[in-house]
Chain A
Amino acid sequence: MSHETTDENIIIEIKGVNKWYGKFHVLKDINLNVRKGEKVVVCGPSGSGKSTLIRAINYLETHEEGDIIVDGVKLVDDVKRIQKIQRDVGMVFQQFNLFPHLTVKTNVMLAPIWVKKSAKAKAEKRAMDLLDRVGIADQADKFPGQLSGGQQQRVAIARALAMDPKIMLFDEPTSALDPEMIKEVLDVMRELADQGMTMVCVTHEMGFAKEVADTMVFMDAGNIVEYSTAKEFFEHPKEERTRQFLEQILNH
């Protein structure tokens, strides 16, 4: 994988990573660099290891071999370092994973107050700004269970942004949503991309990928099969496996 960029622009460096679930080899010699401000979309059939890969970036999954270096900090089995990386990397999950016992606003304020030790008033103001940005400031005092899926996912994005992350990871953020709610979440993500956020996104939304991605990564059976710019990926895919996948996903 060649990059024309200099090293200091690289914010995520994945070198020779291997991972197994028991005897099952999920990630096979993965090498991938992500530059600051780059938007990477990872796609591939289910079970290809794409979720595992992005979960490895903030250490929700451990890996057995290879190195992952995030913003100059190497991921090793050390609680302090892992927590530093987890603070700097925001994550949005397929199932939203909002905290159901806390109001929407508290969901967003919680980590800034406890992890970053922000003053309560400051955290609250920031939370309201973020909720306003994702368009649900009026729901701030409701509980997550009272919101629609699309609204919950937007709260989840606001919650991640409240920690001022340097990188945002999206793990199939629209896969659990009703079709009519996908757009509202993608709009928020699009806006985030326009503002220069570094994003790694696992998604099947090829329209979104075409529009937003700088780089496309196609994975199959634990390998990165194809790595190219979005334009090349959609217009001239190099690999046969990629062409098959695109054909299926675009003509369904």
Chain B
Amino acid sequence: MHPSDTHTPGETRLPPNADTGPLAWVTENLLSPWYNAILTVLACLILYGLLHPLYVWGIKNASFGTVCPSGHDGACWAFIRDMWPIFMVGTYPHEERWRIVIVLGVVILLALSLIFKKVRQWKPIWVLWALTPAVIFFLIRGGSITGLTQVSTSHWGGLMLTVMFAAVGMLFAFPISLCLALGRASDIPVIRAICVAYIELIRGVPLITLLFMASVVLPLFFPPEMEIDKLLRAQIGITLFFSAYLAENIRGGLQALPKGQEEAARALGMGYWQRMLLIVLPQALRIVIPPMVNSFIGILKDTSLVGIVGLVDLLQVVFAATANPKWLGHIEEAYVFVAIFYWFMCYGLSRYSQHLEKRYAVDNK
């Protein structure tokens, strides 16, 4: 008998001890009554049937060396090992790859600066943050004032390109979507109509169509001697697409905010921009962190559609590598690798979103 079972009524005491260990938990939740035990066994069998072949192929019978022994039936991870640099940066020139390593370093520093509170609260960090995209861009491209060899965008590829499309898309789509969301909630009919039209038009069209439009139709609007970079055109398409979705996310946050918040700000004599920037948006954006990250994960995966207009992102480069005579036919390894890579990126984002939610949690009573 538990000691707390003998107590005088009304006294303050600890909750009865419910923790009985993992074995008791399994017995209680998975094995009783009898039909739960059957379901548990069935589920385990199905899982085994699905995962065991994958294990045998990917780990047990696989070769992890630099060459594949002929005639074995497991996965040949040497393929991934050999092609790794190409997967990361596409056909970016071999002798210039050190620049990408520096870029990676900058990105890691950026991520660290976002994680540590002390660094975040250091005011000049904002200047550095604002400069990072430009630094990264010039490191990758080179040319002009940098004194580095210029690398044409036709050599940008692989994971680098995938991440760039998503990150640059986010960077530019966010301010556009803020304007669209505020415009859609505006009292001025013309502004509202323009924003609604934009959002509905872009949302009503698949990204693939937008990419085609951007790469085929957009150049028709410009004089023939003015050629816009193919990569830039795809980036514009992605940004426009993403901004419409983000705008709808943000609108959800604006509508979720109690009306009293804006009224209180008005009653204090605040103007429109003060109300929006100080009261409405800080709260609305917190509410929409999860759907915004959700959209971002979506767009990260959607960037794989740029293959359709001839750009070589992570998916395309991996797929192209299977056509290499040396590694002909290793298509399963290619797909499993790409799937795992995308999964880690998306899962990382999802965890970061949960962290942001906790950090900016507001008691919205």
Contact = CB atoms under 8 A, between A and B. Distances in A.
Partners in one complex: yes
Given A84-B269, A145-B362, A159-B268, 11 more contacts: A60-B267, A83-B269, A83-B270, A97-B261, A98-B264, A99-B265, A99-B279, A100-B364, A110-B268, A115-B274, A163-B269
Main secondary structure of the interface of B (DSSP, over half): helix
A143 B362 CA distance: 9
19 contacts: A58-B267, A60-B263, A60-B266, A83-B270, A86-B266, A87-B269, A90-B267, A93-B263, A93-B267, A95-B258, A95-B260, A100-B362, A114-B270, A115-B269, A115-B274, A143-B363, A156-B264, A159-B268, A160-B267
B105 interface: no
A83 B271 contact: yes
B286 interface: yes
The interface size bin for chain A is 20 to 34
A146 interface: yes
Contacts of A98: 264
Given A93-B260, A97-B261, A111 B363 contact: no
Interface in A77-101: 79, 83-84, 86-91, 93, 95, 97-101
A84 to B, nearest CB: 8
Contact of B283 (A87, A95, A101): A101
B278 interface: yes
Contacts of A83: 269-271
Nearest to B260: A97
A83 B265 CA distance: 11
Given A97-B261, A110-B278, A160 B283 contact: no
B123 interface: no
Contacts of A60: 263, 266-267
Contacts of B271: 79, 83, 115
Contact of A111 (B258, B270, B283, B365): B270
A178 to B, nearest CB: 14
A86 B269 contact: yes
A156 B282 CA distance: 20
Contact of A160 (B268, B286, B364): B268
Interface string B323-365: 0000000000000000000000000000000000000001111
Contacts of A95: 258, 260
Contacts of B264: 91, 93, 97-99, 156
A159 B269 CA distance: 12
Interface in B269-309: 269-271, 274, 278-279, 282-283, 286
B266 A114 contact: no
Nearest to A79: B271
Contacts of A86: 266-269
Contacts of B274: 114-115
Nearest to A110: B278
Nearest to B261: A97
A101 B269 CA distance: 19
- Residue with the highest number of chain A CB atoms closer than 10 Å, among B258, B282, B362, B365: B365
Contacts of B258: 95, 97
A91 B268 CA distance: 8
B362 A91 contact: no
A144 B283 CA distance: 14
B278 A114 contact: yes
Closest 5 CB pairs of A and B: A145-B363, A87-B269, A97-B264, A111-B268, A97-B260
Given A100-B283, A101-B286, A91 B267 contact: yes
Given A114-B274, A145-B364, A97 B263 contact: yes
B261 A99 contact: yes
B254 to A, nearest CB: 15
A156 to B, nearest CB: 8
- Residue with the highest number of chain A CB atoms closer than 10 Å, among B265, B267, B270, B282: B267
A251 B258 CA distance: 35
Interface in B248-266: 258, 260-261, 263-266
A108 B364 CA distance: 18
Contacts of B365: 100, 144-145
B363 A100 contact: yes
